[in-house]
Amino acid sequence: MPEIAEVETIKNDLLEAKILSQKIVDVKIFNPSLINISKKDFSQRIKNSRIINIKRVGKYLIFDLKDKYLIIHLRMTGHIFLKNQNHIFQKHEHFALVFANKKMLVYFDPRRFGKLYLKEDLSSLDKLGSDILSKSFIFESFYEKLKLKKKNIKTLLLDQNFIAGLGNIYVDEALFLAKMHPEKISQNITKKNAKDLFLSIKKVISKAIKNRGTSLGKSRSNFSSINEDFGRHQNHLLVHTKKTCPICLSIIKKIKVNQRTSHFCEKCQK
């Protein structure tokens, strides 16, 4: 599932792909169930506009179309590919924007949990917590918010209204780096441990972005960026999907926390 590092990789690649300011000359919608308004309305409102900027907030990818926004959430298996106009559409390619320079942005999603929203403004994202890469993600408010909650830390870090961007993989990795048990109750976390966790989150995400995200397999449904190139961070994971702890060599434990499989080392994480 694409998390902050994967969506950031896609956004950065798109910004370099020379599609900004290009007129959108055609909109192809093969699966209208993924969009929030009617197919006709969606096409009419996007056609002939231009993408003036591309941003990311949490796991949302935002295309600024000047007087409206196309907001995409990739959910489980959504992908954005950049193709040439002679591209032959394949199974699970549900949507495409065709640009005047013959480039084409294609939305591919085998499990179809992704969503595409056309909105007048970004108010629907107001409820999100601080984005981890934004200036508003600061330690003092992170610590204050931890103290107000009585939830286990894994559940809280996955809650996009608490902080925005993390998913199962990077929460496991950050908790391992911070030596913190996934079921630790947030209110009981000391200031020092909270600081370790805060810094671990930043460290894990910045490293994952440098490695262009995590692809846990080689099938087309696994994460890849716009040229269908896989990430490399799966080669640097410390605990998620691992069998033994890289520090103490204990067997990595797998438990369900809030229905998500959590990998952790019982000896190193307290």
Which helix or strand (DSSP H or E) is residue 80 part of?
Answer: strand 79-84
Stretch that binds Zn ion, among 69-77, 79-87, 206-214, 258-266 (CB under 5 A): 258-266
What's the sign of the alpha-carbon dihedral 79, 198, 184, 262?
Answer: positive
Residue placing its CB nearer to Zn ion in the complex, 12 or 241? 241
Stretch that binds Zn ion, among 38-46, 49-57, 230-238, 260-268 (CB under 5 A): 260-268
Residue placing its CB nearer to Zn ion in the complex, 116 or 252? 252
**Touching Zn ion, residues 228-257 (CB under 5 A):** 245, 247-248, 250
What is the rounded distance in angstroms from the CA atom of residue 203 to the CA atom of residue 233?
Answer: 13
Q: Taking the complex as a whole, how short is the minimal distance between the CB of residue 261 and Zn ion, in angstroms?
A: 18
Please list, residue by residue across 180-215, b when 16 or more beta carbons sit within 10 angstroms of its beta carbon and e when fewer do: bbbbbebeebeeebbebbbebbeebbeebbebbbbb
Whether 220 sits among the annotated catalytic residues: the reply is: no
Q: What are phi and psi of 178, to 5 degrees?
A: -85, 0
Whether 3 sits among the annotated catalytic residues: the reply is: yes
Q: Taking the complex as a whole, how short is the minimal distance between the CB of residue 5 and Zn ion, in angstroms?
A: 24
Q: What are phi and psi of 76, to 5 degrees?
A: -80, -50
Our finding on whether 267 is near Zn ion (CB under 5 A) is: yes
Q: Which of 24, 104, 201, 268 binds Zn ion (CB under 5 A)?
A: 268
Whether 110 sits among the annotated catalytic residues: the reply is: no
> How many residues comprise the chain?
270
Catalytic residue among 6, 11, 56, 59: 59
What is the rounded distance in angstroms from the CA atom of residue 181 to the CA atom of residue 265?
Answer: 8
Whether 260 sits among the annotated catalytic residues: the reply is: yes
Residue placing its CB nearer to Zn ion in the complex, 116 or 265? 265
How many of the chain's residues bind Zn ion (CB under 5 A)?
7
Q: Taking the complex as a whole, how short is the minimal distance between the CB of residue 248 and Zn ion, in angstroms?
A: 3
What is the rounded distance in angstroms from the CA atom of residue 121 to the CA atom of residue 190?
Answer: 39
Cα distances (Å, whole numbers) of residue 1 to 102, 111, 134: 30, 11, 21
Our finding on whether 169 is near Zn ion (CB under 5 A) is: no
**Touching Zn ion, residues 37-96 (CB under 5 A):** none
- Site residues (CB under 5 A) for Zn ion? 245, 247-248, 250, 265, 267-268
Q: Which residues are catalytic?
A: 2-3, 59, 260
